[in-house]
Amino acid sequence: VLRNGKPVKSCLQAIESGIGYISKNRDLEAIILDAPIQSNIVLPSLTALTKGGFIRPKDEKKLSDAQIEAFRIKCGSGRQYVNTLSGGNKQKVSFGKWTAKGSDVLIMDCPTRGVDIGVKQAMYGLIEQMKREGKAILMISEELSELIGMADRIIIMKDFAVTHEFTRSRDLRQTDIIEYMI
């Protein structure tokens, strides 16, 4: 993987170069369930919040509170543990930590899996907003309707090779895509 012409060979390099990853296995890979919302949100941003080897609590709270408000995370405070949240609010925490970091490349693996329709709609709105802000989004999804509705380009890969590419079109149907998946 190259980012701005430089190789990215580790997770730390990816984070430092502005790449964020929203995992489909939210509870296992994206968030720390037994930690507060605030800790989860600020985790990728710790180097920016540290001075002299210490995390600045005011800056940590300010960054976290801004994401809680921006994503409308339903919670009592940033001190609430993530394991007490609904699936949709957990996913918002996962999104919030990467926007808090300022990531401009987001890899989203099934970003709306396991959330109700209301949260799904809100996530789509957030993704559209990120696109308008110029962020690059690579969405991996098992839902063809989600890809057709959200993607500017859909790339079909089979046996490690690109077999077909579609661009956004009102006429694009799931059957068109399935034809190249088989």
- Model confidence over 22-58: pLDDT tens digits? 998 989 999 999 999 999 999 999 989 998 989 999 9
Global pTM exceeds 0.85: yes
Q: What is the mean pLDDT of each run of 10 residues along the chain (182 residues)?
A: 91 92 91 97 93 92 96 95 94 93 94 85 89 93 90 90 92 91 82
Q: What is the pLDDT of residue 39?
A: 96
Please write down the HEC assignment for all residues of the chain: CEECCEECCCHHHHHHCCEEEECCCHHHHHCCCCCEHHHHHHHHHHHHHEECCEECHHHHHHHHHHHHHHCCCCCCCCCCEHHHCCHHHHHHHHHHHHHHHCCCEEEEECCCCCCCHHHHHHHHHHHHHHHHCCCEEEEECCCHHHHHHHCCEEEEEECCEEEEEEECCCCCCHHHHHHHHC
